Amino acid sequence: MLNTKEPTFTLFWEYLAGSIVVQAMLEEIGARYQLQYVDMGAGEHLSESFRRRNPAGRVPALEGPDGETIGETGAIITLLSEMYPEARHAPAPGDKDRAAFLFWLNVLTTSGYMTAGRLGHPERYAQDENAVAQVAEKARADYEAFFDVIEAAISGDPFFMERGLTPLDYYITMLTEWHLNKSGLFVARPKLAKLCQGVNDNRSYKVTMDTHAMQAA
């Protein structure tokens, strides 16, 4: 839950962006944090002041207790898992599940997130109108194939890993938020549907999505 004490972290976030996963993890591990909204539609992520924090000009970014800022969701999740091993929310270094966790985290941040980007913004990947349409069509097919891989890989019940809830589950559920036909997605993939229901019932994810709902209102 949000802690009203002096914050330890500052999360730079945008509505329905990759910051969903980071905020949910901060909630789950009990870290103190505050939110700083970045209006990407207005180009704030490209401003000189933001680029000083994150030269890549992307959201999310997380400023830590030492004043240093790190970007990229996968890097942030990995760092937090190392800083808060006692929370046991993600496999820490030395844990038997660490290698699998890092592997699937990278699958989600590359195959999953990048495909979602092509699906949501095909115009960023081509200029010709016909080519843009082809990018969108291929992205839809690739997104379906990606979720087939996830469905086959789910080993827990209901969560992705047998150990229980991890940031992977937040990430997978976030990716389904961007699917154009969630009901069809879940009908064809019952384990994925059960995983996402478990995440949507999680208090930390609820708090996070409430934040995004308030911003959208």
pLDDT (tens digit per residue) in 111-162: 999 999 999 999 999 999 999 999 999 999 999 999 999 999 999 999 999 9
3-class secondary structure, 126: coil
The whole-number average pLDDT for the span 81-106 is 95
Q: Rounded distance, CA 169 to CA 28, Å?
A: 12
Nearest-CA neighbor of 165 among 177, 174, 157?
157
| pLDDT of 90 above 90 | yes
pLDDT band at 41 (very low <50, low <70, confident <90, very high): confident
Residue 200 has pLDDT above 70, yes or no: yes
Give the count of beta carbons closer than 10 Å to the beta carbon of residue 55: 10
User: Side by side, which strands form the sheet with 9-13?
Assistant: 33-37, 9-13, 61-63, 69-71
In tens, the pLDDT along 16-36 reads 889 999 999 999 999 999 999
Q: How many alpha carbons fall within 13 Å on the CB side of residue 141?
A: 6
Question: What is the C-alpha separation between 103 and 31, in angstroms, rounded?
Answer: 25
Say how far apart CA 92 and CA 78 lie, in whole Å.
9
In the chain, domain spans: 9-90+204-216, 98-202
What number is the average pLDDT over the span 183-207? Answer: 98
Note the CATH architecture for domain 98-202: Up-down Bundle (1.20)
How far apart (Å, rounded) are the C-alpha atoms in residues 181 and 205?
21
Instruction: For domain 9-90+204-216, give the fold.
Output: Glutaredoxin (3.40.30)
| Residue 203, SS3 per DSSP | helix
pLDDT the model gives residue 105: 98
With bands split at pLDDT 50, 70 and 90, how would you rate the model's confidence at 6? low
DSSP three-state, residue 119: helix
Position 216 confidence tier, pLDDT thresholds 50, 70, 90: low
Task: Write the CA distances from 183 to 42, 80, 153, integer angstroms.
Answer: 32, 33, 20
Nearest to 193 by CA among 139, 144, 147: 147
- Express each pLDDT in 165-188 by its tens digit: 999 999 999 999 999 999 999 999
90 and 100 Cβ atoms separated by less than 8 Å = no
* Residue-wise burial string across 63-77, b where 16 or more C-beta atoms lie within 10 A, e elsewhere: bbeeeebbbbbbebb
Mean pLDDT, residues 188-202 taken together:
98
| Position 3 confidence tier, pLDDT thresholds 50, 70, 90 | very low
